[in-house]
Amino acid sequence: MSDNLKSWNWELWSPYWSFLEDNQLDLESIGKIASMIDDPALVIGAGQGLLVEDLRKRGHKVDGIDAEPEMVAYAKKRRNVDLILANGKKMPVDDNTYKTSIIATGVIDFMDDEEQIRSILNEVKRVTEDSGKIFIGFFQWNVRGASIMRYLGLITDENRWRARKFNEVFRLKPTAFLKVAAKEANVSFVSTLFKFISYHMHLSRRDKEATKRWTEMWKKIDNPEELIATIPDSLPYRNEESIRILFKNLDIPIKEIFPLTCLTVQI
């Protein structure tokens, strides 16, 4: 888990994570690169075991690791998947154990400190065969979603995602949401209304399903303010250009970037 996310209270969030986990490096995305995965494989930041379970169903020999005890417990409870409880910076795994390693979204993409990113990548390289493959997921809104986020100032000109404000705004009921959204964007209520009508008209099936899950989640949470208070104010939001700059700074060559639900980098 990114050090930027240390304040995120996973004991509070984990009961609701099933509403959010099939996003970003999701089942659709993992399916598109499944044929490129050589066994044995490791998923770092495995959460509640969604990707591990899916890859095993596809016939892969795969392990998962996560730093949060709550996530490991729910992986066992919900999917009967046993994960390794450990931090990605120091894994209890022998050198060259895996032919493929997959770093899920939420592990390094929200980190500011490039030396911490380097430390994790070096550890992942250690447990992966020299000729093996490493895939890394980076959180990414789709084009229309990113446009809305920038319109509302929730993605800043400095490429920061205002994560806490995003959750405060998007959990609201429609009328309250539009009022707050208009204020955040410093535009009229009517302009914001038409902006979001246009946005929703062009939502993909997947995005509609994700929006539905998001809405259902907030209905089930008794004290949303308590959860939102644990979310960091601001996190990095890396597009393809800034990802390339990051790996150039780390002196790590990129083999390919796959434009999946998230941006997925192979090194």
Domains in the chain and their CATH numbers?
3-139+238-266 (3.40.50.150), 143-235 (no CATH)
Confidence label for 202 from pLDDT (cuts 50, 70 and 90): confident
Q: Are 71 and 50 in contact (CB under 8 A)?
A: no
Q: What average pLDDT does this structure show over 170-196?
A: 90
Instruction: Output DSSP code: residue 44.
Output: E
For the chain, give the percent of residues with pLDDT over 90.
Answer: 72
For the chain, give the percent of residues with pLDDT over 70.
Answer: 97
Task: Give the CA distances from residue 142 to residues 42, 198, 211, in Å, rounded to whole numbers and listed in that order.
Answer: 27, 15, 13
Please give the distance of CA 55 from its chain centroid, rounded to a whole number.
Answer: 18
- Residue 13, token pair as written in the block: 């969030």
Task: Give the CA distances from residue 27 to residues 6, 24, 55, 167, in Å, rounded to whole numbers and listed in that order.
Answer: 26, 9, 9, 24
Q: What pLDDT score was predicted for residue 2?
A: 52
- The span from the first CA to the last CA of the chain, in angstroms, equals 20
User: Rg of the chain over CA atoms, in angstroms?
Assistant: 19
Q: Are 213 and 19 in contact (CB under 8 A)?
A: yes
**Residue for token pair 């089930």:** 220
Contacts of 136 (CB under 8 A, 6+ apart): 102, 103, 107, 108, 109, 121, 264, 265, 266, 267
Q: How many residues does the chain have?
A: 267
Segment 98-138, tens digit of pLDDT: 999 999 999 999 999 999 999 999 999 999 999 999 999 99
- Residue 211, token pair as written in the block: 């929006």
Q: How far apart are CA 41 and CA 18, in angstroms?
A: 23
DSSP E strand stretches across the chain = 41-44, 62-66, 84-85, 98-103, 128-138, 160-161, 235-236, 256-259, 263-266
Report pTM.
0.91
Confidence label for 3 from pLDDT (cuts 50, 70 and 90): low
Instruction: Indicate if the pLDDT at residue 249 is higher than 90.
Output: yes
